[in-house]
């Protein structure tokens, strides 16, 4: 089991094996969920989830608002929220 130490400022380093397994990159945002006496950590999909979403000419005649809504729907479906 991997472990790390918490500093006085409440900071810690995520062990390399964990970063690699979760594909955590610098700048990624993490989400924490507390369940009883333990916590679950997951990588927030953020803008990384949008990669390639609009890589077609389908949005050519769409307004910016329509493109943003389509990107949001695609990100949510990729994250398994829908």
Cα end-to-end span (Å), the chain? 33
Q: What pLDDT sits at residue 47?
A: 63
Identify the CA nearest to 48 among candidates 32, 68, 71: 71
The more confident residue out of 17 and 56 is 17
In this predicted structure, the answer to whether residue 82 has a pLDDT above a threshold of 50 is: no
In the predicted structure, residue 14 carries a pLDDT above the cut 90:
yes
- What pLDDT does residue 62 have? 78
Q: Are residues 23 and 60 in the same domain?
A: no
Both tokens assigned to 81: 């929220």
Structural domain including 21 reads 1-44
Query: What is the domain count for the chain?
Result: 2
Strands 38-43 and 30-35: antiparallel
Q: What is the DSSP letter of 10?
A: S
pLDDT in tens, 28-77: 889 999 999 999 998 887 766 666 666 666 656 778 788 888 888 888 88
Considering only residues 45 and 19, tell me which one the structure prediction assigns the higher pLDDT. Answer: 19
CATH code of the domain containing 34: 2.10.260.10
């Amino acid at each position: 089991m991997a472990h790390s130490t918490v500093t006085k400022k409440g900071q810690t380093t995520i062990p390399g094996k964990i970063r690699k397994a979760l594909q955590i990159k610098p700048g990624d945002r993490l989400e924490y969920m507390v369940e009883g006496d333990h916590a679950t950590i997951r990588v927030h999909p953020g803008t990384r989830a949008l990669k390639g979403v609009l890589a077609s000419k389908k949005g050519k005649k769409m307004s910016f608002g329509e493109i943003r809504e389509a990107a949001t729907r695609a990100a949510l479906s990729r994250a398994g929220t829908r």
